Structure 1
Amino acid sequence: MPAVQRTSLAEIVAAARTLLDDRGPEAVTMAAVAASVGVRGPSLYKHVDGRGGLLRLVAGSAVDELGRDLAEAVDAETDPPWALAAAVRAFRAFAHRSPHAYGLIFGPGPHAERPSEAILEHAAEPVFRAVAALVPSSEVLPAARTVTAWASGFVSMELTGAFRLGGEVAEAFEWGLRSMVEAVVSAGSREAATGEPGTRADSAIAGRSGRRAP
């Protein structure tokens, strides 16, 4: 008779994520995770290939969560500039809600602990979709990379307390976000004369029905 499995991969990843969120990456050890799911340490190796493999799975799960947040934010807006702004705000909200998971995804950890490129690409799809509605297809990748780089840089500095000159950091984020979205819209507007689908006029940043800019 085969041995009864006392835990599952999903339970193991969930337990590791809880430890990560509560106490940081150093708390995610094989022994701690095994204790959380009620098995002995060696039993985990039936499901994961060591701590590096476990952290990679946790990072992948966190990326999936972020991707869902981004998709919900983009899908909730019909105006392209607002959709892009909503995606960036969702990115920041995820980082504040789960700073250790954010660090696991975007930090300089070992390659063995990083989520796969396929998972990252799937999660980023809403951002690419929002950008593609504003600029020509030839500019989607550089535009999406620039927006992501600004957002991740700002959020990373925010989480580490690097802004030390006073003032409201949230206001600075919104100022930067407006400027970034305006830049993307303007880049698309410059190419509008080509007639390529996906370009928008500069006036799009003002939104519709009197809405304020993103």
Structure 2
Amino acid sequence: MATGNSYIGGVPTPDRTSLSAIVSAAGDLLESDGLPAVTMAAVAARVGVRAPSLYKRLRNRDELIEMVAEAALGDLRERLARAVGAGGDGAPVGDPRARLEALIVAAREFARVRPAAFRLVFAPGDLRLDPALLAATSAPLFDVVAELAGPRHALQAARTVTAWATGFILMELSSAFRLGGDLDEAFDYGIRRLAEAITDR
């Protein structure tokens, strides 16, 4: 097997262009120019190959977009896991309300860093995402709401929290809050009230 870079006419051959580099380039395009700009031709230009070469690794643009979304979910999953931390036995530490706040704040920070990726993952669409990845990303939230609301209401509580948090964040990204006031204060207020509302008394 040949080693090092392989070139034909000054252009890297497809076998020297990794799938991860293609997905990363597509993710960068998504953030800089928006979803419509993520075309096979534009991504190919970013990684230095001709567009037909991408089809050796991907079926079509839809598959590429799904892979970009899954990469974004992987990033979000890592951020959420770091936000709640873990003890020596692997269990999350700290008060469950504090962990709930940390999770929602981490999601908001992710959206500020990668707004287009946040919209791609959470806005309505036809993406077919890996169920195992979705479950892994949601696990920290399910764990904490199960403590607050009880296992019987964990799903309902998780959906309530997710709906409020994503709605708030998407409105913030779209500059849709038009009545003034401090958004950070409103965000903190919402988190506190949510935690109180879902807590099983």
Q: Which residue of 2 aligns with 1:89?
A: 105
Residue 140 in 1 paired to residue 154 in 2? yes
Residue 68 of structure 1: how far off its partner (Å): 0.9
Select which of 148, 156, 170 maps to 2:184: 170
Map residues 99-110 of structure 1 onto 2, 5 A cutoff.
Answer: 99-109=115-125
Residue 156 of structure 1: how far off its partner (Å): 1.0
For the structure 1 residues 139 and 4, does the alpha-carbon distance in structure 2 shift closer, same or farther, using more than 3 Å as the test? closer
Q: Is the 8 A contact 1:105 1:114 kept in 2?
A: no
Residue 5 in 1 paired to residue 19 in 2? no
Residue 6 of structure 1: how far off its partner (Å): 2.0
Residue 152 in 1 paired to residue 161 in 2? no
Separation in 2 of the partners of 1:35 and 1:180? Answer: 46
Unaligned runs of at least 5 residues, structure 2 = 3-12, 87-92
RMSD (CA atoms): 1.7
> What stretches of structure 1 move > 3 A for 4+ residues in a row?
1-4
Q: Which residue of 1 aligns with 2:6?
A: none
Q: Which residue of 2 aligns with 1:210?
A: none
Residue 50 in 1 paired to residue 64 in 2? no
Secondary structure, aligned partner of 1:64: helix
Q: Is the 8 A contact 1:73 1:90 kept in 2?
A: yes
Residue 118 of structure 1: how far off its partner (Å): 2.6
Q: Which residue of 2 aligns with 1:59?
A: 69
Give the TM-score normalised by the residue count of structure 2. Answer: 0.87
Report % sequence identity: 49
Q: Which residue of 2 aligns with 1:117?
A: 131
Unaligned runs of at least 5 residues, structure 1 = 190-214
Give the TM-score normalised by the residue count of structure 1. Answer: 0.81
**Cα deviations by residue, 1:17-51 (Å, 9 ceiling, x for unpaired):** 11111221122110111011111100101111111
Secondary structure, aligned partner of 1:165: coil
